[in-house]
Amino acid sequence: MSLASRLKLTFPNTNQLIISVLIAGLGWVSGQALSRIDQDLRIMYTEYTLGAADLAHISANVMRYRNTIIRSLEAENQATFERITDSLPAQRARIQHAVDRYAAAGLRVSRSGRSEEKDIQAVRESLDQYFHVASKTIDLLTQEWRAGSAAKATELRRKAEIHAADNGGPKIMQVSLALDRLLETVAEVAKDMRDEGTKTILSTSYWIVGGSFFIALLNLFLSCAPRARKLPSSRPEETSRPGSSLHLPSEGSKPAFRTD
């Protein structure tokens, strides 16, 4: 006795195979769609939600850097000036590291044509210009504290203040505007990804519902077809078999005559 007969296993017929393949295909399509949605959600969180937070930190760190420059202009002695400006290299490295970390992520282009790559490049250029101006201000202040005369020190301080106001102010505004444009682009790209995810969810729902109804109807038709083929064309008792005797009236039976 075979194992299949012991376990009472039956091999599927063609109809069962067709329905099984359709169910498996529908499940595979649904799984692929859900996997894509899950990937988009992860990207939105890691690269856009956290990325937007990083950009907000960059803006705050730039303003902190700017405030440090202003505090160095107000330093009363050289020791205070050096203590204040010692933190500038670390602040600058923190800002540039945050920009590089965001640029290393997958940069995209929105449907309207706004490019994250172009906007992040504009942020980098504006930051480089501002840091160059800020370095010039710090150099003037350093020369002030090393000046040999009070008149030269006063002149250097005046130049540093004018340079910080006339050049540093516009540059910091350019940095702020570049960051705002990048944030707007990030919001547009995230909205596009959300719309694509919504569209994928709707199409997947339609596929699942439509496929389920199609499989159910197909199962009904395929299950009814074998039953229809098994139905006989006439009842067996109404069919005369070959060689069977005809039932004739017996001799003792008398026909009934109709009398007028």
pLDDT digits 0-9 by tens, 147-167: 888 888 889 989 999 988 888
Half-sphere exposure (Cβ direction) of 118: Cα atoms closer than 13 Å: 8
3-state secondary structure of 109: strand
The count of other CB atoms within 10 Å of the CB of residue 191 is 13
Q: Maximum CA pair distance of the chain?
A: 162
Whole-angstrom distance, CA of residue 41 vs CA of residue 34: 11
* Across 34-39, average pLDDT: 71
In terms of average pLDDT, the best of 2-6, 17-21, 43-47, 229-233 is 17-21
The reported pTM is 0.63
Whole-number Cα distances in Å, 213 to 18, 26, 203 = 15, 12, 15
Instruction: State yes or no: pLDDT of 46 exceeds 50.
Output: yes
The length of the chain, given as a count of residues = 260
Place of tokens 């109709």: 258
Given pLDDT bands bounded at 50, 70 and 90, which one contains residue 251? very low
Given pLDDT bands bounded at 50, 70 and 90, which one contains residue 229? low
* Across 71-84, average pLDDT: 90
Q: Which CATH class is domain 55-193?
A: mainly alpha
The confidence score (pLDDT) of residue 224 equals 67
Instruction: State yes or no: pLDDT of 178 exceeds 70.
Output: yes
The confidence score (pLDDT) of residue 112 equals 84
The confidence score (pLDDT) of residue 256 equals 46
User: Whose CA is closest to 117, among 132, 125, 101, 106?
Assistant: 106
Residue 100 contacts residue 107 (beta carbons within 8 Å): no
User: Whose CA is closest to 193, among 41, 55, 38, 58?
Assistant: 41
* Across 125-132, average pLDDT: 94
Residue 126 contacts residue 120 (beta carbons within 8 Å): no
Looking at residue 47, the DSSP 8-state letter turns out to be I
Q: Which residue has the higher pLDDT, 250 or 74?
A: 74
User: Whose CA is closest to 130, among 95, 103, 159, 90?
Assistant: 95
Instruction: State yes or no: pLDDT of 240 exceeds 60.
Output: no
* Across 156-182, average pLDDT: 90
Half-sphere exposure (Cβ direction) of 143: Cα atoms closer than 13 Å: 15
* Across 13-24, average pLDDT: 75
The confidence score (pLDDT) of residue 12 equals 62
Mean pLDDT of the chain: 77
| Sequence ranges of the domains in the chain | 55-193
Given pLDDT bands bounded at 50, 70 and 90, which one contains residue 230? low
Looking at residue 44, the DSSP 8-state letter turns out to be I
The confidence score (pLDDT) of residue 25 equals 80
The confidence score (pLDDT) of residue 259 equals 44
* Across 189-195, average pLDDT: 77
Given pLDDT bands bounded at 50, 70 and 90, which one contains residue 63? very high
Q: Which residue has the higher pLDDT, 191 or 250?
A: 191
Whole-angstrom distance, CA of residue 120 vs CA of residue 118: 6
* Across 88-113, average pLDDT: 85
Instruction: State yes or no: pLDDT of 113 exceeds 60.
Output: yes
Whole-angstrom distance, CA of residue 260 vs CA of residue 233: 44
The confidence score (pLDDT) of residue 216 equals 75
Q: Which residue has the higher pLDDT, 40 or 85?
A: 85
Whole-angstrom distance, CA of residue 114 vs CA of residue 185: 6
